[in-house]
Amino acid sequence: MSQPPSTSKTIVLPLLVAALLGGGVAAGVTAVIVDGNAGDTHTTTVIRQSAIAAQGANGNRANAAEGLTAADIYQRYAPGVVFVHSEIIEQTNNPFDPFGGAQKSESTGSGFVIDATGDILTNNHVIDGATPDSITVQFADKKTLKATVVGKDPSTDLALLKVDPEGLDLKALPLGSSKDVHVGDPTIAIGNPFGLDRTLTTGVVSALQRQIQAPNGFAIKDVIQTDAAINPGNSGGPLIDSAGRVIGINSQIETGGAGQGNVGIGFAVPIDTAKAILANLKKGQSVQRAYLGVTSLTVDGQLDALNLPVNHGALVQTVESGSPADLAGLKAGDVQATLAGGASGSSDPVVLGGDIITKVDGKAITSSDQLSQLVMSHKPGDKVKIEIMRKKVTKTVTVTLGKRPPALQTG
């Protein structure tokens, strides 16, 4: 598996408020107004918001027929966005308390209705560690109901909640496809930042195919980057396109080391990732993924100065003890080196002397990401043939892939 990149990204953690503590947040609303003055006459004209139709790949505007504005989308779909509350009890290690201790706090985040049966999609980290009977969701009409966790997948940071739909007029949000998204497309985020319920922010798709790290250490791929303002409490809320379809689940922000506030770089787990595991989540089944147990570095032109014996592949950096890779005899190196010209002009560490994975089942490996994708295309228990270059000698080993552990242990 490829090694997660070192970043300063911060998970948009649910807003945590210690019990018995309170605070106030002041918010302002800004309207765009044009003033025209003619003599003593003062005329105020309110500018009507224009439609936010996006230019599609085929040259057609995605919602030109409806002419949806951000206000239109909010009116239609904000009622389907919920305010998620839960109670977190964290054990504390107090050397002066022989019986241990516990600290109680409240977690808040966002979620959205996906069907009429009461299913609600959110981030796993919004409800992680919550006491089961403490999770509630609040709707736009202020009606609050208890919710149960039906299924969760820490590796994609997704969870499915359920409420009893009896007597509810549920407003399900339509699910789009992240494959249809292009850089520059308009985006709308609806959520509950800092406890301010059903807040709308707008922006564009800033980049595609980003990679972020789930709280359990595994990489989440094909992530959508947006400049729509996302803050703590937005976690689990929808990222919506100009036609009102959900294209992602808002999950993390880049803080630039300046705290937890938004700096214009947010990340959403693609909705296609959620759709691929929804069937498992609805059945309460864990998502089983194949696991090799290595972290690696792409071998390409940037490593030419290291005089490696091949010019493509994945250079093994670490091998998890007891993993399928370890049992099959794959080896990491033991020579520390630095690679000049890394992020921000710094020198990135490289471990030399380990195996270079060049093929999996006869398919040439061109990057560590490709290695990861090939492994995940298999099921636990599958046997794969891995060709490696070890000290300028080509070897082939057969690996029986395992089941991905709950958390990444290797560095």
Which sequence positions are flagged as catalytic? 125, 157, 235
> Which tokens hold the place of 176?
């789009």
Number of helices and strands in the chain (H, E): 5, 27
| Tokens 């054990």 -> residue | 91
Beta strands in 139-237 (DSSP E): 144-146, 148-153, 158-162, 186-191, 199-213, 219-226
Q: Per the structure block, which two tokens stand in for 344?
A: 């921000």
82: enclosing H helix or E strand: strand 81-92
Residues 69 and 77: beta-carbon distance below 8 Å: no
d(CA 289, CA 378) in angstroms, rounded, equals: 8
How distant is the alpha carbon of residue 17 from its chain centre?
23
Spatial contact of 403 and 288, defined as CB atoms under 8 Å apart: yes
Strands 136-138 and 144-146: antiparallel
Q: Which residue bears the tokens 């800092």? A: 194
Which tokens sit at 117?
A: 């049966």
Distance (Å, whole) CA 82 – CA 94 = 37
Angle, CA of 291, 294 and 299, to the nearest 5°: 125
What count of other Cβ atoms lies within 10 Å of the Cβ of residue 279?
11
Q: How far apart are CA 376 and CA 404, in angstroms?
A: 10
Nearest-angstrom CA–CA distance, 264 and 39: 42
Close Cβ partners of 14 (under 8 Å, ≥ 6 residues apart): 84, 86, 107, 108, 109, 125, 126, 232, 233, 235
Question: In whole angstroms, what is the distance from residue 330 CA to residue 1 CA?
Answer: 13
Residue with tokens 């030399």, as numbered in its chain: 352
